[in-house]
Structure 1
Amino acid sequence: MKIYPVETGNFKLDGGAMFGVVPKTIWQRTNPADSNNLIDIAARSLLIEDGNRLILIDAGMGNKQSDKFFGYYYRWGDFNIDASLKKYGFHRDDITDVFFTHLHFDHCGGAIQWNKDHTGYEPAFKNAKFWTNKNHWKWATEPNPREKASFLKENLIPMKDSGHLTFIDGTEDSFIKNSPLGFDIRFVDGHTEKQMLPQFSYKGKTIAYVADLIPTVGHIPLPYVIGYDTRPLLTMTEKELFLNQAVENNYYLFFEHDAHNQLCTLKHTDKGVRLDQVYTFDEVFN
């Protein structure tokens, strides 16, 4: 097995929305805001090469939306998924599986693209299965008013129509080992229903892909919960359980949304679990 970090593109989000009830005077120490109160956000995927399979964890937001849509998110930098795949000698047609932590547009939008004449949509990874779970799919396709703007029909309906959609079983458990994709999956419900967090053993270490449970290193303390979460108190419970397991088992947290930190370890302190050290992926695994 080989694992590669894949940068699909950076954007910005409102710092207040990203830190909920935490005051700006506190959160800006780790996540400084610009003059519009926006903070840097990444859309960082993981690529897993395992035998004949090439598995992509999340696909970023893509580029099919309107200029007005992208005007809300202030994309910046030069990252894109094609250049990131090319860096490792791959093309999007090589991808066999795309696993979605959840179906908010910034995690799955890149999996669907315009067709050639812009009359409809098609899979951006034409040879890949798209993996989610039945509970989350129902949640996404029958959205509540709070999340409706994040679950976009143009991302979801083409997945089903393409015949590429596949479901993970086992959502009645909070953790399943050795899923059909070869890695473990943790289910968490605070951010959205049945978000799936992959966990891998790689080169003698455990990588936990934390997606929107812990978006950045600034979100490690328990009360630092994003305003987008549907069940923030549940998020805190899920975070506490995960963070303690992460310290006890020396997990390396892989950040999808931290534009400046790829990996970290954690430690116990008298204030609770806190950041220990940050790393690049290459520093730990190359």
Structure 2
Amino acid sequence: MNLYSIESGNFKLDGGAMFGVVPKVIWNKTNPADSNNLIDIGARLLLIEDGNRLILVDTGMGNKQSEKFFGYYYLWGDHSIEKSLKKHGFHPDDITDVFLTHLHFDHVGGAVNWNTDRTGYTNAFKNAKYWTNENHWQWATNPNVREKASFLTENIIPIQESGALHFIDRPDTDLLKQSDLGFDIFFADGHTEKQMIPILKYKDKTIAYPADLLPTVGHIPLPYVMGYDTRPLLTLAEKEKFLKMAADNNWYLFLGHDAHNEVITVQNTEKGVRLKEIHRAADILI
């Protein structure tokens, strides 16, 4: 197995929304805001090369939305999936599987592109199976008012219409041992219904991709929960359980939304689980 960090593009979000009830004077120390109260956000994906399979975890925001839409998110930098794949010797057509942690637009937008004449949509990874779970699919395609703006039809329905949509079953326990894609999955319901967090055995390491359960280094303390979460109290319990496992077992946490910190480890302290070390992805994914 080989792992690669894929940078799909950076953007900005309101710091207050990203930290919920936590005061700015606190979160601004780890995630400094600009004059508009916006903080840097990444869209870092994980690419898994395992035998004949090339699995992409999440797809970023994509590029098919309107200029007005992107104007809300202040895109910055020059990253793209295509350029990042090429850097590692791959092409979008090489991807065999796309594993979607959840279907919010900043995680699934890059899964679907405009067709050539912009009259319809086509899968960005034409040879890939797309994986979600049935509970989350129903949640996303029949959205509540709170999340409706995050579940965009053009990002989701074309996958189903193409025949590439596949479901992963949720077990009775929190971890699905050896899913169809060869790794464990931690299911978390606080941010959105049935978010899936992959946990991989990689050489002598365990690497987890916590997605929106732990978006940045600044979100490690338990009360630091995003205002976007649908069930913040449930996020508290899920994050406590996840971080305890990560600290006890020295997991490497591959952060998707932290624009400046790629991989971290955490440790148990008298104040709870806290940051241990920050690593470059290139030093861990070797």
- Structure 1 length-normalised TM: 0.99
Q: After TM superposition, give the deviation of residue 283 of structure 1 in Å.
A: 1.8
Gaps of 5+ in 2: none
3-state SS of paired residue (1:48): strand
Q: Distance in 2 between matches of 1:283 and 1:165?
A: 34
Aligned length in residues = 286
The answer to whether 1:207 aligns with 2:207 is yes
1:154-205 Cα offsets, whole Å, 9 max, x none, are 1111011000000001244311010000111000000000000000011200
Matched residue, 2:195: 195
- Note the 1:7-26 alignment, pairs <5 A: 7-26=7-26
- State the distance in 1 between where 2:122 and 2:38 align: 32
1:282: how far off? 1.6
Match of residue 273 from structure 2: 273
Superposition RMSD on alpha carbons, in Å?
Answer: 0.7
1:207-246 aligned within 5 A: 207-246=207-246
Taking the TM superposition and a 5 Å limit, the aligned residue runs for 1:72-83 are: 72-83=72-83
Match of 2:40 in 1: 40
User: Is there any run of 5+ residues in structure 1 with no aligned partner, and where?
Assistant: none
Q: Give CA-to-partner distance per residue, 1:87-120, whole Å, 9 cap, x none.
A: 0100000000000000000000101000000001
CA contact (8 A) 2:223 2:236 kept: yes
Amino acid at match of 2:191: H
Report the alpha carbon displacement of residue 208 of structure 1 after superposing the two structures with TM: 0.8
1:203–1:285 contact (8 Å) kept in structure 2: no
Partner residue, 2:179: 179
The answer as to whether partners of 1:171 and 1:187 remain within 8 angstroms in 2 is: no
Question: What amino acid is aligned across from residue 5 of structure 1 in structure 2?
Answer: S
Note if contact 1:143-1:151 (Cα within 8 Å) is conserved in structure 2. yes
The Cα of 1:284 is off from its aligned counterpart by: 2.4
Q: Kindly provide the CA deviation profile for residues 40-67 of structure 1, in whole angstroms up to 9, marking residues without a partner as x.
A: 0000100011111100000001000000
Identity score, percent: 70
CA distance in 2, matches of 1:269, 1:102: 31
Query: 1: CA distance between counterparts of 2:214 and 2:269?
Result: 18
Q: Report the CA distance between 1:73 and its aligned residue.
A: 0.3
1:227 counterpart SS class: coil
**1:75 corresponds to which letter in structure 2?**
L
Cα pair 2:4 2:285 within 8 Å, conserved: no
The aligned amino acid for 1:159 is I
Question: Which residue is 1:154 aligned to?
Answer: 154
Q: In structure 1, what is the equivalent of residue 50 of structure 2? A: 50
Q: Distance in 1 between matches of 2:242 and 2:17?
A: 23
Contact 1:171/1:194 (<8 A) preserved: no
In structure 2, what residue type is equivalent to 1:273? Answer: V
Could you list the structure 1 runs, at least 4 aligned residues long, displaced by more than 4 angstroms after superposition.
none
What code does the residue aligned with 2:133 have? Answer: N
